[in-house]
Amino acid sequence: MYKYLVCFLAFFFAYLFVYTQDYPYPVNPDNTTTVSNSTPVLEWTGGAAFNSYTVEVFECTYSPNAYFNSIHLEEYELVEVKEGLENYEASALTLNEKKPNQFFTVDDEGSKIIAYSNGFSTNQEFPIQQYTGSDYEGLTYLYNNYFVMVEERLDLLFFLKMQYNTSGNLNGITQIAQRNINNPAISGANDGNEGITYNPVENKLYLIKEYNPLKFFEFVAPSAGNFSEAITISEPFDLQNASWRPNDVAGLYHLSLNKTLSATPAGKHLLLLSQESKTIYEIDLDGNLISQKVLNSNGAIANHSEGFFQPEGITYSDGKIWIASEGTFNKTAKFYTFENSNYTAPTSNPSKRIYVKQNITNTQLQIPACTLKPNKSYCWRVTANLNNGVTAISEIFNFNTQFFNGNCGAVCPPNINHYLNTPLTPLYSAACQITSSATTNNVLLYNAADRIKLKNGFHASGFFSANITTCP
């Protein structure tokens, strides 16, 4: 019996483990915002396999740098081109965000998924002819080695698990679920689902319809392990009417997949790749153009493409962008690396930890009174504790304070003579304890209003005396 219980618990915890993001993600207050509340509520995105959280707050200096609000696509330049397979119509490109040197691509002939490593120098092939359909046009990383692939004409999603051995080597791909999106905009023609990407902060998937017309969709991602939850799509904006719209869209990447960018406004943006326009667009989820890069500017691509450049897939990591270009019967697929040599990630310099709270079981925490000081810069982060003893640490968020601190840290007066329900001058802490007074049990010091009031039912003249002690 004990043996079966142990097996059940092991299965149970393993099952729970799949329901998580790779990291917790701070959400509020917005990074670099100014808070006017001396006891702000910190909120973050977690995961079901995180059984508790630890929040730390530091005094610190924080530099958002120039790439905080945008990745500035115009600054990216081609730095490397690698050959892939001949006659391989690479139609997507993604990387394992926890193994950033391992890329995955799929072909729109439905023959195989290829895993590349060592800078596209080595590869492993995994046949997929057994899957429904054949026109696979999008592939994205989710979390915990889960991926999702989209079929263009049949409007299907395939949730996949990349299998790694104990040495961390990829040794197989398992199809977990096949789902129909039921998108009425997909007609079965060769103008349907062309790219897919994931937003781990909001647990949303984004889909692009190639053209005729261009359409952009979003929906809440169903959860591992069976991915069976309902899929309800919507359009956050009308891509067809965007003033900057490309001729088509071939690939997508949501920048919050990159852990560093997940803590910045730039991390809320998407990269759209257009094959026909040969351009990358950085946009927000209101459909506004933030920056763009014409890929063949100054003839950079022409020097390597032999006149054949069909960009189909895009992925990103810390100042680098990779583009997959499909091959044909006499051309190899190619992988183009673009780099922004000026890129610097936001940096924080914690000087002193001023607060820590452990064993939090929800995803928010209110900072206690008198913890923060006015007109200072603070950083905070969340550590998630998994059921298997592993921890996952978020990126660092920053906020600044701007509030009046008269009711924190003041020396308690030996006594106070004061009229009821009038402001205290100077203000004293709500933590001050009234220790002796004829009205000791009936006098309260309210932090929110900074007033002394009487408890209900106490009747006296409008004046009293009290000794107040124990300020923080």
Residue at 410 is within a domain: no
Measured CA to CA, the distance from residue 182 to residue 234 in angstroms comes to 12
Q: Are residues 312 and 355 in the same domain?
A: no
199 and 281 fall within a common domain? yes
Residues 279 and 363 reside in one and the same domain: no
In a domain, 409, yes or no: no
Of 291, 321, 339, the position where a domain reaches its end is 339
| pLDDT score of 467 | 42
Q: Residue 322 — φ and ψ, nearest 5°?
A: -115, 135
Residue 370 CA to chain centroid, in angstroms? 31
* Tokens matching residue 276: 């026909």
Work out the burial of residue 298: count CB atoms within 10 Å of its CB; fewer than 13 is exposed, 13-18 middle, 19 or more buried. exposed
Task: Tell me the torsion sign for CA atoms 166, 172, 178, 179.
Answer: positive
Q: Which amino acid is at 6?
A: V
Q: What is the mean pLDDT of residues 319-339?
A: 95
pLDDT class for 20, splitting at 50, 70, 90? low
Query: How many Cβ atoms sit within 10 Å of the Cβ of residue 353?
Result: 12
Q: What is the pLDDT of residue 437?
A: 43
Q: Within this chain, do residues 292 and 148 fall inside the same structural domain, yes or no?
A: yes
Q: pLDDT tier at 432 (50, 70, 90 boundaries)?
A: very low
* DSSP single-letter state for residue 330: T
Element of type H or E holding 81: strand 77-86
Task: Give the pLDDT band of residue 104 (cuts 50, 70, 90).
Answer: very high
Asked if residue 411 is part of any domain, the answer here is no
Residue with the larger pLDDT of the pair 421 and 239: 239
Annotate 221-279 with DSSP letters as a single string.
Answer: PPPTTT--S----B-SS-GGG-TT--S---EEEEGGGSTTGGGSGGGG-EEEEETTTTE
Q: Are 74 and 295 in contact (CB under 8 A)?
A: no
Residue 75 pLDDT exceeds 70: yes
CB 120 within 8 A of CB 82: yes
Residue 221 sits at φ, ψ, to 5 deg, of: -75, 130
251-254 and 215-220 strand pairing: unpaired
* pLDDT of 428 over the 70 cut: no
Per-residue CA distances from 138 to 227, 312, 346 (Å):
18, 9, 30
The strand pair at 347-360 and 50-63 is best described as antiparallel
Q: pLDDT value at position 22?
A: 92
Give pLDDT, residue 184. 96
Whether 388 shows a pLDDT value over 80: the answer reads no
Task: With beta carbons less than 8 A apart as the criterion, state whether 350 and 288 touch.
Answer: no
Judgement on whether residues 108 and 45 belong to the same structural domain of the protein: no
C-alpha 25/C-alpha 19 separation (Å) is 15
Q: Can you say how many angstroms the Cα of residue 381 is from the centroid of all Cα atoms in its chain?
A: 14
Give, as one character, the DSSP assignment of residue 412. Answer: P
Residue 408 lies in a domain: no
Q: What are phi and psi of 274, to 5 degrees?
A: -110, 125
Confirm whether 321 is domain-assigned.
yes
In terms of domains, do 320 and 391 share one? Answer: no
Prior bond of 350 cis (ω within 30°)? no
Residue 380 lies in a domain: yes
Based on the fold, state whether residues 32 and 85 are members of the same structural domain.
Answer: no
CB 148 within 8 A of CB 162: no
Lowest-confidence pick of 38-47, 195-204, 280-289, 416-425: 416-425
Domain termination site, one of 290, 306, 339: 339
Tell me if 406 is assigned to some domain. Answer: no
Q: Are residues 204 and 315 in the same domain?
A: yes
Query: 216 and 136 in one domain?
Result: yes
Terminal CA-to-CA distance of the chain, rounded, Å?
Answer: 55
Q: What pLDDT was estimated at residue 309?
A: 94
237-272 tens-digit pLDDT: 999 999 999 999 999 999 999 999 999 999 999 999
Whichever domain contains 45, its CATH number is 2.60.40.10
pLDDT (average), residues 78-90: 94
The number of distinct structural domains making up the chain is 3
Instruction: Specify if 112 maps to a domain.
Output: yes
Residues 215 and 263 in one domain: yes
Q: Are residues 313 and 452 in the same domain?
A: no
Q: What is the CATH number of the domain that holds 148?
A: 2.115.10.20
Sign of the Cα torsion 412, 413, 416, 422 reads: negative
Cβ contacts of residue 96 below 8 Å, gap of 6+? 102, 104, 141, 145, 162
- 41: phi then psi, degrees, rounded to nearest 5: -95, 125
* Nearby residues of 163 by Cβ (< 8 Å), 6 or more positions away: 145, 170, 171, 172, 173, 174
- The answer for residues whose C-beta is within 8 angstroms of residue 459's C-beta and 6 or more apart is none
Same domain membership, residue 357 and residue 245: no
Residue span of the structural domain in which 455 resides: 416-469
User: The sheet that has 41-45: what strands, in order across it?
Assistant: 25-28, 41-45, 364-366
